[in-house]
Amino acid sequence: MSLRLFNTLSRTVEPFTPLDPAGRRVGMYCCGPTVYDYGHIGNFRTFVFADLVRRHLEFRGYAVTHVMNITDVEDKIIRRVRETGLPLREYTDRYTQAFLEDARALNLRPPHHLPRATEHIADILALIERLLARGFAYRAPDGSVYFSIEKYRAAGGCYGKLKRLDFDRLRVGERVAADEYDKESVVDFALWKARTPEDGAVFWPSPWGEGRPGWHIECSAMSMKLLGPSFDLHLGGEDLIFPHHEDEIAQSEGAGLQPPGRPFVKHWLHGAFLLVEGRKMSKSLGNFYTLRDLLARGFSGREIRYLLLTAHYREPFNFTLEGLAGARAALARLDECLDKLRDRAGGLTAPPDPALPERFGAALDDDLNVSAAWAAVFDWVRDTNRALAEGALAPAQAAARLAAWQQVDQVLGVGAGGEPEVPAEILALAGARQAARQARNFAEADRLRAELKARGWLVEDTPKGPKLKRA
């Protein structure tokens, strides 16, 4: 089966076919963070989803160019800059670096390009000038520049490709300056916002006066600059379908830079909402988690990544602390199997056994059916444990299974846990238990085993000595 993905543009699952005539190069753009605060777990569901898309494309042999933007100027950021008194760059650098640290904790592959909106003002101005010249934008009395949906549609442009819209509600000529607005409104949106006193020092010169770009035009300018006027994949959360991505299509195709017959973007992929403990995430409900909140609670980036990868990207996902505990247990089961394989392989290497990669890859080819992919992994764990217990795996076979896991993990990116970091007092208890066993004081050894378990640690006695693992 070839790779098939749900395209929001066609509202169907369809074969993924790159624009590249050779069928190998893929341009992929993902809307990145708005760096006004630390990223929350809902943001990172989208970024982990994008990472899975990229990794699977590379697993299938595509050469991916991955672009993720940094939105470092928009309404929320300007409010925070005004409140803190910090320069724009100093303020946004803090949260840009925090995002990159969080991305590393989740083992996200770094994008090939990470453009910042403020570094592409010239590209944004050139795109706005082109829209003005083609008659799809107009200057308002205050010096702002707006995109005209009415003129775009009158020229044959389709506004509403991603979301079906009721044009009976279209309020001709009504404008909205806010970056985010009523998702049921169809109004002209700002490409360039004239400077106001509230903007402070956040402004740039332009042919229409001092001001700053609107949010939507930033992504169009940066994506087309780095990937060309027509590219393969555009990803984001489903909350961006309208107005952000709809506006991107209108202004990008309104600029008329695409070759004849080609769209701005061929395939649009959107990840579904994330709930936390069954409800919409909200600070007032006490269920609002940044990634850093969860790390501070003792969960690892690996566990969080695993949990975010257990649900299909188009299904709303209920993120819970109980689910994270389940992720820890599932990864421990996987790690235990891998440890046994490493012991059996004894340092040998071998080509990968194809059974697991083939079943795993086929599952992800089916619109990234990650549930079926994980089922393949844990069926493999069960069968491998059985073969190891029966002594049915030669060292070379164990090495081939390890190589198969390593191939699959290039997509999953959860790695192997290795030896846990054990606190000194737990090591002392384990040492005392081992001494009791050697002295044949089995009652004391059993007591110490029970105490270790009560503290969250299990002891496994192996031919190479006792091993500690979390309960």
Does residue 375 lie in a domain region?
no
Does 184 reside within a domain?
yes
238-251 tens-digit pLDDT: 999 999 999 999 99
- Does residue 230 lie in a domain region? yes
| Per-residue DSSP letter, 162 | S
**Domain assignment of residue 436, given as a range:** 424-470
For residue 369, tell me if it sits in a domain.
Answer: no
Does residue 350 form part of some domain? no
Answer whether residue 181 shows pLDDT above 70.
Answer: no
Rounded average pLDDT over 222-241: 97
User: Which one of 275, 310, 331 terminates a domain?
Assistant: 275
Q: Mean pLDDT across the stretch 52-71? A: 98
With respect to residue 338, please indicate whether it lies within any of the assigned structural domains.
no
Of 241, 275, 309, the residue that ends a domain is 275
Q: What is the mean pLDDT of residues 210-237?
A: 97
Measured from the Cβ of residue 197, the count of other Cβ atoms closer than 10 Å reads 5
Distance CA 33, CA 93 (A): 12
Residues ≥6 apart with Cβ < 8 Å to 440: none
User: Poorest-confidence range of 156-165, 254-263, 271-280, 414-423?
Assistant: 414-423
pLDDT digits (tens, 9 = 90+) for 321-368: 999 999 999 999 999 999 999 999 999 999 999 999 999 999 999 999
Distance CA 19, CA 294 (A): 40
The Cα–Cα gap between 175 and 167 comes to 15
- Tell me which of 275, 304, 337 is where a domain ends: 275
Interval 285-334: pLDDT, tens: 778 899 999 999 999 999 999 999 999 999 999 999 999 999 999 999 99
Instruction: Tell me: pLDDT of 419 over 60.
Output: no
Whether 264 shows a pLDDT value over 70: the answer reads: yes
Six-digit token string for 449:
């085993």
Task: Give the confidence band of 175 by pLDDT, cuts at 50, 70, 90.
Answer: confident
Asked whether residue 112 carries a pLDDT value surpassing 80, the answer given is yes
Strand, coil or helix: what is 324?
Answer: helix
In a domain, 309, yes or no: no
- Contact (CB, 8 A) for 39 and 102: yes
Nearest in space to 338 (alpha carbons), one of 417, 391, 411: 417
Q: What is the pLDDT of residue 1?
A: 62
Q: How high is the mean pLDDT of the chain?
A: 93
* φ, ψ at 470 (rounded to 5°): -65, 145
* Per-residue confidence band for 91, with pLDDT thresholds at 50, 70 and 90: very high
User: Above 60 in pLDDT, residue 172?
Assistant: no
Looking at the DSSP bridge assignments, the partners of residue 231 are 265
Q: What is the pTM of this model?
A: 0.89
CATH number of the structural domain spanning residue 208: 3.40.50.620
* Three-state DSSP class for residue 7: strand
Say if 352 falls within a structural domain. Answer: no
Question: What total of structural domains would you count in the chain?
Answer: 2
pLDDT band at 460; cut points 50, 70, 90: confident
Which of 3-7, 276-280, 406-410 has the lowest average pLDDT?
A: 276-280
pLDDT of residue 208: 97
